Structure 1
């Protein structure tokens, strides 16, 4: 079985060597073998150890502490396979979360840790299609609001007059669009909805056909939204 030096392992896992050192220090893994060259000790890891390291790194990304991971690794026989199975479920949840955010503009509460977001309990609230439907209805109400469409018309006219997306005039019109969105979404999530619309307008989505403006200047309006959100971040 091949084994690899610590520097190679860190490169494979896209982590810094100090992260690998912390994992060793936490007692989560030991080198498959070591070699002594003078005062220097070189650590080597085989394929099995690298697989375990990969799992540890992924679980850390999901917000698990080293203590949490230690309990999982030292659990019943075959726990590593169980960890991999659970991780695949969490990755599936992450994909679902991305879809929910994209379709509704709804974000998890800021105080939630990633590992809690990935737990099945969080997703029970999204099992009902009504949640997605509610998000779609919110977007449709915004797009059909006369004040919102007036703000879009203002942006369109300003572009036609030669103003750029970063001009104070266009950015003020975007701010007015955000105020309209706040009628349908909370103040906290209005910016996320504006960002969502910017991505859809300036992307490949068919949402262009749902506005009163048609496709005229819609990508430019999306670009103005994106610039506004970036500047306000």
Structure 2
């Protein structure tokens, strides 16, 4: 595991306190991993306080200097450019259950009808591009149904990443690995469970249904990245 190997290097004194780590490309090559995997490992170490980052200057060992001037927050668009599909699904797991709960309190009959049609359409998708189109529209419809234009706008900006090549490659791999018909059918059922909770005006059930759906996608992504660990039972959470 890359994170564990980095911890070992730090413990062995590979770098001195406040010394800059090698550039990502060189460090990834040394560890034999992708830059995406390395970034996830560095994020984990940063959250533990073992390293800190200075935008434009690099990654350093130890805690950020308390009296120093840190870089300005990274612009959202830049974060979206470097985020991985796993970053996106984790962000959606935090954000979208709350949107679904809000929609359960605000959605009108027309919005519920539109969401139900889109949920059913995902179950009859001819291929992954067709599924992706209907799935994207379904989740955006829920965001709009929350009745909060600000939250809906933030969500729409967040999921622009779905149009990027990395997400498309991952989703295509997941769609093929899980088998198109079964994948579409199972995810459509999870979509419909979300709609029915919203239609019932039950925010807690809507929150849970959305969480279950996105947790299923997260499991599929992990199985696609780790085929030796994936099993048929892991693929779908109903």
Work out whether the TM-score is over 0.5: no
Rg larger in 1 or in 2? 1
Taking CA–CA contacts closer than 8 Å with sequence separation of 6 or more, which of the two structures ends up with the larger relative contact order? 2
